[in-house]
Every structure is written in C-alpha cells, then in structure tokens.
Amino acid sequence: MKKRIVKKVLGLALETDRALLAEVAPGAGGRRQLAAVAEFLFPPGAGLTQPAALGAALGDFLRQHGIGTRDVIIGLSARTLMTRYCAVPPAAIDMALANLRLQAESAFATDAQNVTVDFAGELPSGAAAAGLLVATSHTVVAQCRELAAAAHLRLRAVTATTPALGGVTTEAPHDVLVVNAASSGAELYLTRDGTPLQLRYVALPAEEEAAVVSLAAEIRRTLAGHPAGEQPWVLAVWDELQARRNVGEPLQERLGLHVATPRLDAVVAATDREAPRFSPAVAVALAGAAGTLPVDFLHSRLAPPPGRTKRRRIAWAAALGVTLLLALIVTVYHLRQRQASLALMQARLAALRPQVRQAKAALSRLNVVRSWHSGSPQLLACFSALTNVFPADHSIYATSLMLRHARLDQLTGKAIRERQVLDLRDRMNAALGFTDVRVVDVREAGPTSRQYEFSIAFKFHAPE
C-alpha cells in the first residue's frame, strides 16, 4: 500500500498472545501525533487461529478504551514470516518484478501455492537492486482479514513489524542492525545503506542476564556472515522494557559495537510516558499513514498481473512438455553412445590393470620417503607455533584443527572465559607465521556447562 492515509490510523503489532495498539493522528505542521496506545492481551483460548472470536474481543477492547479509528494496519511478527535475500540486475520495473517472481517461486518452491510474497527494498528503473523476499502463508493473511472484519475495522494493509520499525530508526542511517527486543524474544533486522539483508526471530531466556548473553551471541552470529563495510555496524535497540532495564550497555560491552537507543519522539509527537513500549505498533501506523510500508501482503508488488495468470500457466506447461520430450530423445541417444564407450573403456582398463598395480606400489614407497623430506615442515611448524601460543594452565585448549591450503585454516576449542579466546587471538597475531587471524564464533558450550566453545580462522606460513 503506497497511498498515504490523511486521517487517523491504527497500528496493530501482532504477537503470539497479545497485540500492541497505537492510534496515530495528523498533527501540527504535518507531523503525526500519538493519540492513544494500548496493550490487548488475547482472551484465554483465543488466538489468531480463532480470528472471529479474537476480532470480537478486540472490538470490545477498542470501545472500552475509546479508540474509534476504523482504518487499521496489521504488523506481523517475524515468527510468521519466511525471508530470502535476493538481487536483480539492471532492468525496467516490469522485468525486475518478473525476475523477482521467478526467484520467489524458486525460494519458496515447497509452499509456492500457499504463500503470499512481497519484496522489501527499492526497485529503481534501469538500475540493479537487492533486498528481501518476505513471505507469509495465505492462511495468516486470511485470518488477519477475518480478525479486522470481526472487530469492525477496515484492513488497509498487512505488513512486517520489525522492518517498519527499521523505517523509523533515524539514529543510524547507514549499516544498522535493528533489534526489536521484548520480554520473550527479539527480532533482528539487518540493513546496509537502506538495503534489507536479513530478518529473523530469536527466542530469549526469561532471566535478564541470560537473555543478554543469548542475544549477544545471536547478534554476533548474524553479523559474522556480513562483514562491516566502510561504516561500522551500529545496533539500534528498541527495547520494550527499557524503562526497567538497560540492554544497550551490556550488549555494547560484549560486542564492542556502538549501540544507539532510538527515540520515539523523534518521529512522532508523544506525551504518554509509556509510549516507547508501543514503538512497534507506532512504527506500523506511521508507515501505513505515510505510504512507506516495507511490504504489504494485501497489495503485493509481486502479485501476478490480472488476467494473465492462466495463459502464463498454459504457456509454461506447453514449453515444459516440449522441453521434456526433447530431453528424453537426447537422453536415449546419449545413453546408447555412452554404453558403447563404456564397453570400450572397460576393455582398456582390464588391459591396464597390471600397470596400475605396479604404479600404486611405487607411489606407496614414494609417499613413505616423502614424509621424511626436510623441505616440507609446514604441518609440524604449525603444530609447534600453535603449542607456543596456548597458555600452560590448560584453561583454554584446542579440540580440532583443520588445515586447508587454498582457504583459511580453522582452529576450534574450549575456554573457561570468553576473554581467553580474545587473548589467544592476540597472541596468534603477534606470533610469527600467523596472518588473517580472526574469531569466527564464541558461544556457551551448553546450558549446564561453564565453558565457551570457540572457532578461530587463520592463515599460516612457516617462517624461513
């Protein structure tokens, strides 16, 4: 939905057992103002799978709280979404959309007939583009329609909550990981120069310190696949419970990244002190009001053009049938040729078997001699260098070593403290022979273990 909504609009951020509500209205100077916020807890036994009962309860809730807005934008949690990063070459808009439809059919092939897909990202005409294919099931969209109808609301759009939240994150305009943290989990939305790269949901433990540790590990894992560009990664943390806790500082200490705490009053006029708790719903409402929704499953840009779907399917079926027939003819022809070639090769192989046995015996003797040759100490030199950089107190030790000549070697092991892994990395960087040393992963070994598992990648060349 790209059309702006001039009057009031209700943003509804759906979660598993509740919905955050935010009513946004036009304000002075063209700036939107927050008219009302509320938290709707689902009645016992009711959920999105019972949309009629849930919608009736929502309608009663809105009347009790004096929220009279009829136009609603529903935001979905990342739990109900599937995503896939994709890129398209320079092309006209119609060609780019056709390319994205083909990529969506491939990405969600097993559910292609049961999902609605939209594209999160810009599509400039004649230029290359990249972004996320975002999909949800037809069932979820139908449930949202029924929910709105039962609550006597006009459903304007169904979008994704956290990407909408990323759209109002003005504190970090370049490379940013938006963290939408709640009491039971968090959603991570990674963008580079405004281009979406990844969207995922992570469950978190109930205990606060354990939740921070788990969240830091998930953020580290997310960023490991996306090295920083010219600008370092910035964490923008929208924390529902920030009035009672501070997640930003512990994350900054653990990750060594700048953590920004976005301000809701930077994008909407709000007087309610509880307003930041409802930032996801506010973001959904603002995006809907401004016509800047990241995705819209009711009006997807990837929906097939009207009236052409049936003809396209017939054409594809005919082309597929002709292709399969030609492939069958070619396969039979090549099969007969290869059978004749196989018989000839088997005869030649039988004649060469005595020579092969002699060559294998000679090679075996040569390998024994080569293992003692002084000009190939690479493996022993690597073992010696690694032994020298490990401390003698056995508080950190290796469990495996993988040497790959053309790529980075990899060392894995366990440590009592996370800091010991960083000290080991520094000692390797300082030692002769090691280059490109970096920590790939550090995580807790298990829920009951006090150790950390780690993985370090490096290159090694034996000093002359």
Question: Does residue 151 sit in helix, strand or coil?
Answer: coil
Smallest CA-to-CA distance from 257 within 233, 236, 238 is with 233
Distances (CA, A) of 70 to 151, 154, 287, 293: 9, 6, 17, 19
Least confident of 70-74, 90-94, 243-247, 314-318: 243-247
Mean pLDDT score of the chain = 86
The confidence band for 246, taking pLDDT boundaries of 50, 70 and 90, is: low
443-452 long-range contacts (CB < 8 A, ≥24 apart) are: 443/217, 443/221, 444/213, 444/217, 445/414, 450/416, 451/414, 451/415, 451/416, 452/414, 452/415, 452/416, 452/417, 452/418, 452/421
CATH class given for the domain over 378-460: alpha beta
Give the rounded percent of residues in the chain with a pLDDT score beyond 90. 38
Res 275 pLDDT > 60: yes
Sheet holding 18-25, edge to edge: 33-41, 18-25, 9-14, 71-76, 154-160
pTM for the structure as a whole:
0.65
- Which CATH entry fits the domain spanning 171-261: 3.40.50.720, 3.40.50.2020, 3.90.1170.50, 3.30.420.40? 3.30.420.40
Mean pLDDT highest for which of 14-23, 309-318, 400-409, 443-452? 14-23
| CB 131, CB 114: distance < 8 Å | no
The residue extents of the domains of the chain are: 1-119+134-168+265-330, 171-261, 378-460
Burial of 422 (0-12, 13-18, 19+ CB in 10 A): middle
The per-residue pLDDT for 244 is 47
Res 22 pLDDT > 90: yes
- Cβ count near 461 (within 10 Å): 12
| H helix runs in 65-159, sequence order | 93-107, 138-150
The per-residue pLDDT for 42 is 93
The per-residue pLDDT for 32 is 87
Distances (CA, A) of 128 to 78, 84, 98, 135, 440: 27, 17, 14, 22, 31
Least confident of 1-15, 103-117, 248-262: 1-15
Question: 385-406, pLDDT tens digit by residue?
Answer: 889 999 888 889 999 988 776 6
Mean pLDDT highest for which of 2-11, 140-149, 164-173? 140-149
The per-residue pLDDT for 5 is 59
- The CATH homologous superfamily for domain 1-119+134-168+265-330 is ATPase, nucleotide binding domain (3.30.420.40)
Both structure tokens of 280: 């996801």
Res 243 pLDDT > 50: no
The two domains 1-119+134-168+265-330 and 171-261 share their CATH topology (first three levels equal): yes
Q: Check residue 224 and report its DSSP letter.
A: H
The per-residue pLDDT for 205 is 86
The confidence band for 113, taking pLDDT boundaries of 50, 70 and 90, is: confident
The per-residue pLDDT for 183 is 66
The per-residue pLDDT for 241 is 60
Over range 127-149, report the average pLDDT.
Answer: 94
The confidence band for 126, taking pLDDT boundaries of 50, 70 and 90, is: confident
Question: 155-204, pLDDT tens digit by residue?
Answer: 999 999 999 998 888 765 678 999 998 767 899 999 988 899 999 999 98
